Structures are given as structure tokens and as C-alpha cells.
Amino acid sequence: MIRLNKYMADCGVGSRRSCDKIIAENRVKVNRKPVSELGYMINEFNDTVTVDGKKITPKNKNVYIILHKPKGYVTTVKDEKGRKTVMELVDVKTRVYPVGRLDYDTEGLLIMTNDGDLTYKLTHPKYEVTKKYIARVEGDITDGQLDELRRGVVIDGKKTAPAGVTLLEKNDEGCKIELAIHEGRNHQVKKMFEAIGKQVVFLKRTEMGEIRLGGLSRGKWRYLNEKELNYLKNI
């Protein structure tokens, strides 16, 4: 959500103060309904705003959403094998693209946007954006193996950076571990566990920096809120 006067300013109507004056003069409609209330909030992605009968739109409008990607979807715009893609799960007017990838059999948080600069910052290792995963592995796991993950393991001939590792649960079905990394190498989490002799049977990404999946249901998406957008702008 965004204040109507800010949205109008972003569309080039004028300064926020001059936009307030236009609103007070009852010259603005939101979804065909007159609005004269200062401080009025709108959904900048779905609401239609007109000034003096003319629709206004922001210049170079960026869209930011998060999706709870389910298993069984590929993180691409199109798939040559005809598999379902994450694009089928979102419904926005502006074309957005996945930031990074989640494997076909992995679920969890996926950011989608049309902001190329942000995509670069979130995926390039030099910005060290921490990504958190919940992994379930078969069988027992020792403290020594967890320490190996913390120190870094060799995958594809190169050692991974130190990781944050927390054992969340251990039972007859296996172990559940939270893993925090800032690299984004191909199939990295699965390969890290393979390096210590463990097989991942379930994998879910829960966080990217300060963006958290929370209670968002599988297959559902939402726009990022103002706090989350402010965080992304300051990476």
C-alpha cells in the first residue's frame, strides 16, 4: 500500500504538496470513485487512479512480490520440457521474473520482480545476502558433520563459505536442520549435505535477507510491504 499523494508524485503529477491540493479539490478518482481524503492509501499495483479524468501511471514502475513456490514447478519463464513454471502462479499486470532459482523439487520463498538492479544485488555473492533453508535429511547426523557444514565443505572443487547451522529436530524419520548461506551456487544446499554423506529428502527456503516467507501458503503470493521494500533499497 502507498499514499495516494506519493503515487501521484511518482506518476509525475507534481510534488506531494501540490498533489494534496489536487486531491482536496476533488479532482482525483480511485477505481472510478472520487477521493478527497488526504492520506488516502491505495494499492499501487491493482488500483486505477485518474486525475481530471485521465489515468496516471508511474514512470518505470517496478513490481516486487514474493511467492511460496511449491514442489513441481520450475523457476523459469518457460520450460522446454513442458513442466509447470512459477509464472503460472502469479497474476500481475507487469511482467516479473524470478530472482535466482529454486530446484523443481524444492519449495519456499521466491522473490519475483522486474527490477534488474535488485536482482543483481540479491544474487551476486559480493552483497552477501543471507538465505535460510530448512532441510530434512535421512538418518542421524553428528555434531562433527554439523561442524563441517559450519566451517565449509568442498563442492565442485571449491570450498563453500562458512554457514550458519542449527539442528532443529531429530527423530526416527531423520533430522531437520536450518542452514544459512550467502552464496548461490548450483544445487548448493543439497551438495553441501552430500559432501558430509547425507541425503536431503526435503528442502524449503524460508528467508532472503530480511524478507521472510512467514505464513504464506504454498502456491500463494503477495506484494512486498513498505518495510521490506525499504530493506531491499538499502542492500
Count of alpha carbons within 13 Å of 73, Cβ hemisphere only?
23
Pick the catalytic residue: 10, 47, 91, 103?
103
Buried b (16+ CB within 10 A) or exposed e, 209-222: bebebeeeeeeebe
| Contact between residue 106 and residue 205 where contact means Cβ atoms under 8 Å apart | yes
Q: What is the dihedral of CA 167, 170, 175, 177, to 10 degrees?
A: -20
Give the length of the chain: 235
* HEC sequence for 107-121: EEEEEEECCHHHHHH
Does 147 participate in catalysis according to the annotation?
no
C-alpha 9/C-alpha 4 separation (Å) is: 9
| Gyration radius from the chain CA atoms | 22
Distance of CA 219 to the CA centre of its chain: 13
**Residues assigned a catalytic role:** 103
